[in-house]
Amino acid sequence: MKRSKAPIATGSHKRPLSLWNFVRFATLLNLGVTLAMLVTAVIQGNHETWIIAAVLCPVNILVVWIVALTIGCLAMIPVGIWRLSKRLARQGVGKVTPQGQLWDRWIDGPEPWRP
């Protein structure tokens, strides 16, 4: 199917906060720092710089992941509570007949005739 125009994002829809946001942040930060360490070690060219980069890179990765996931989990606690409250508030009450029984049209058939 061809379109004459490309779909345009309006920007009015906000994505909900999730743990994926924090994982993506940690990944991009680790990628940038690792690349910066590698470029610095190549430019310096001496043996000590390579040893320092080899030690700092895994330590940096570990610290960034621990901090990002800890902050992410702590930030997701109120978000999870808010989403749970919205879901519980959305649950409807079952349909009750005048006799007081729970009635479901799909399971029990049409509603009984009321005299």
Q: What pLDDT, in 10s, does the model give residues 63-72?
A: 999 999 999 8
In a domain, 106, yes or no: no
In a domain, 3, yes or no: no
Cα atoms in the Cβ-side hemisphere of radius 13 Å centred on 82? 8
In a domain, 79, yes or no: yes
Partners of 102 in the β-ladder: 96
In a domain, 110, yes or no: no
Helix (H) or strand (E) holding 48: helix 47-90
Residues 6+ apart with CB under 8 A from 50: 41
In a domain, 48, yes or no: yes
Q: Provide the residue range defining the domain that includes 73.
A: 19-88
Q: Scan for tokens 């799909």, then name that residue.
A: 106
Domain count, the chain: 1
> Distance from first CA to last CA of the chain, Å, rounded?
57
Instruction: Please tell me the pTM assigned to this model.
Output: 0.57
User: Which pLDDT band, with edges at 50, 70 and 90, does 18 fall under?
Assistant: confident
